[in-house]
Amino acid sequence: MEDVLTENPPPSRFFQEDLNNFVPPPESIPSPFILFSNPKPELPLRPSLLIIAISSPSLYVSHNLPSKTLLGSLIMPEVPFSGNTIEPSLEDKSCNIYSLSSTDDKNSILLVSVQLPVSPERSNLVSRLLIGQDIIPERVIILDSIQSRNFRGRLSPDETLAAKLETSAEKKATSHLVNLDYFPSGSVIDGLSASLLSRCQLKNIRGTLVISWPEFGPSVIKFIGALLKKIVPSLDVASVNKDLEKNSSRTGLKKDTWLDSDLYT
């Protein structure tokens, strides 16, 4: 073991292997894919709005929305199904695709609930599947949490915050889906939500990433519910807010990946 007093410290902004050309490339893993329910819908799907829920509060809201139809699931071969239930559950490691539309306007609004961990290295593949291949949306809303490790300001656990980033196409539109301040310059968002918004920008799709804080709790869940109701007035969010205060402050908390263990299912 290295002596922490006399040995040189490692760099803090990079891992050593990030700066090493001779680290072996990763082992190849089979690509993710989307499995659609029977009967298979006509592809590509062309929703007028694609909502992608990634943060714990948004997943809680999505799960409690009534009247949604399961269209399919995005499968990541490296994520085991063990512990998943037959009926969709908030505890599942899954990425389900739902239709929120009425029967008149089938598949016009799609909702994706990303309940499985997507590593940054796999984010590009997942975002290509969700946007631009079998699903070609007109507009996209991505819901994620502010990542405290990448945020250059102060985050109070008592204060609900939200900000947005949007693509150029959304920015220059005459009406905006979301009316929030922009995420401050100097801070970044990484991971799947960043990959999804980048994909929208590259494909010239109207996309908005809403990042909220804190990562869980009734206040931010109410905020997300109200936001979605404003964007889709026909959405029934009444059941989302039911019994919210009775639940613990960690309502809908997505388990940290490093806490998960396949030993316990």
Partner 1 sequence: MEFVVEEGKLVNEDCSTLVLPALSIGNVGQLAVDLLVSSTGAERVGYLDDPNLLPCVGNDAYGPLPCGDIALPLEVYESSSIATTLAQQRSPVAKGLMIKFAENIADFAASSGKKHVIVLSSLDFQRLHNLDLSRGPQVYYLSNAESDGRDDHCERLGFGRLREYDSEGRCWKYLSSVFEKNSEEELTFPSEDELEDIDYYPSLPFAALFSAFKARGLKVTCLLCYCSEGDNIPEAFLLAEAASKLTGLTPDKFHGEEGGKWRIPYSWKSMYGAPPDMSMF
The answer for residues whose C-beta is within 8 angstroms of residue 171's C-beta and 6 or more apart is none
Query: Rounded to an integer, what distance in angstroms lies between the CA atom of residue 253 and that of residue 91?
Result: 10
Torsion-angle region of 100 (φ positive above 0: left; ψ -120 to 50: alpha; else: beta) = alpha
Question: Taking contact as CB under 8 A, which single stretch among the options 51-59, 77-85, 176-184, 236-244 is the one that binds partner 1?
Answer: 176-184
Q: Min. distance of Cβ 136 from partner 1 in angstroms?
A: 17
Q: Binding to partner 1 by residue 168, rule CB under 8 A?
A: yes
Binding span for partner 1 by CB under 8 A among 34-42, 196-204, 216-224, 226-234: 196-204
Examine residue 188 and tell whether it contacts partner 1 (CB under 8 A).
Answer: yes
174 binds partner 1 (CB under 8 A): no
From 13-21, 69-77, 88-96, 236-244, give the range in contact with partner 1 by CB under 8 A. 13-21
Measured from the CB atom, the residue of 44 and 120 that comes closer to partner 1 is 120
- The residue with tokens 């490296």 is 78
What is the closest distance, in whole angstroms, from the C-beta atom of residue 127 to partner 1 in the complex?
Answer: 8
Task: Determine the length of the chain.
Answer: 265
Residue 3 or 104 with smaller CB distance to partner 1: 3
Q: Does 210 bind partner 1 (CB under 8 A)?
A: no
Are 216 and 178 within 8 A, CB to CB?
no
DSSP secondary structure of 74-93: EE-TTS--TT--SS--TTS-
Least distance to partner 1, CB of residue 148, Å: 11
How would you label 69-84 residue by residue, b for 16+ Cβ within 10 Å and e otherwise? eebbbbbbeebeeeeb
- Segment lying near partner 1 (by CB under 8 A), choices 45-53, 72-80, 95-103, 182-190: 182-190
Residues 15-54 that bind partner 1 (CB under 8 A): 15, 17-26
Three-class DSSP category at 57: helix
- Structure tokens of 129? 């599947």
Number of residues that bind partner 1 (CB under 8 A): 51
Contact between 175 and partner 1 by CB under 8 A: the answer reads no
Q: Return the residue of 30, 185, 246, 263 that touches partner 1, per CB under 8 A.
A: 185
Interface with partner 1 by CB under 8 A: which range of 44-52, 56-64, 96-104, 195-203?
195-203
Q: Which of 131, 214, 200, 134 is CA-nearest to residue 171?
A: 200
Least distance from partner 1 to the Cβ atom of residue 7, Å: 11
Phi, psi of 89 (to 5 degrees): -135, 155
Q: H or E element: which one contains 196? A: helix 192-202
Residue 142's nearest CA partner among 130, 158, 129 is: 130
**Contact footprint for partner 1 (CB under 8 A):** 8, 11-15, 17-26, 120-121, 123-125, 127, 152-154, 165-169, 171, 182-195, 197-198, 201-202, 204, 209
